[in-house]
Amino acid sequence: MKQILIVDDDETFRCILAESLRKEFEVLESFGVNDALKKLETSSVDLICSDYNMRDGTGLDLLQSCKEMNISVPFMLMSADDGSHLSRKADLYGITFCEKTEREFLNKIRAMI
C-alpha cells in the first residue's frame, strides 16, 4: 500500500485529512518540519503533503531538507491562505500546490500517487 506523509501543525486539519486518506493509503502524520524529518530518517513514503506555514518552518524548508537528504518523492504544498503567490512559488520548485479549501483536494492527492 502506498504511504503518504502529512505535515501540518493544525492538528484538526491533519487528523481529518489523515482519516480521509486512510481508506486508500497508509498515512504518517507529522506536526512540523523537524518531526517530519525525523520520520523520514526511518520511513520511506510515496508522497509528502506539507502545509506551507508551520511553527518550526515552512513546507519549502522541508522540501529543501528532503533534497539535501536525497529524498525524491512527489511533494504537495498546502495552505489555507490565498494561494496565488504560493502556487507560483510551487511552480518554480516543480511541486504541486493546493489550497486546503479546494473542492478537488483529495482527488489531487490521489492523482499524485
Q: What is the pLDDT of residue 1?
A: 93
Has residue 98 got a pLDDT over 90? yes
> Would you place residue 84 in the very low, low, confident or very high pLDDT band (cuts 50, 70, 90)?
confident
Task: Return all residues near 93 (Cβ < 8 A) that are at least 6 apart.
Answer: 60, 63, 75
Q: What is the pLDDT of residue 8?
A: 98
Average per-residue pLDDT for the chain: 94
The residue behind cell 500517487 is 113
Burial class (CB in 10 A: 0-12, 13-18, 19+), 18: middle
> Would you place residue 11 in the very low, low, confident or very high pLDDT band (cuts 50, 70, 90)?
very high
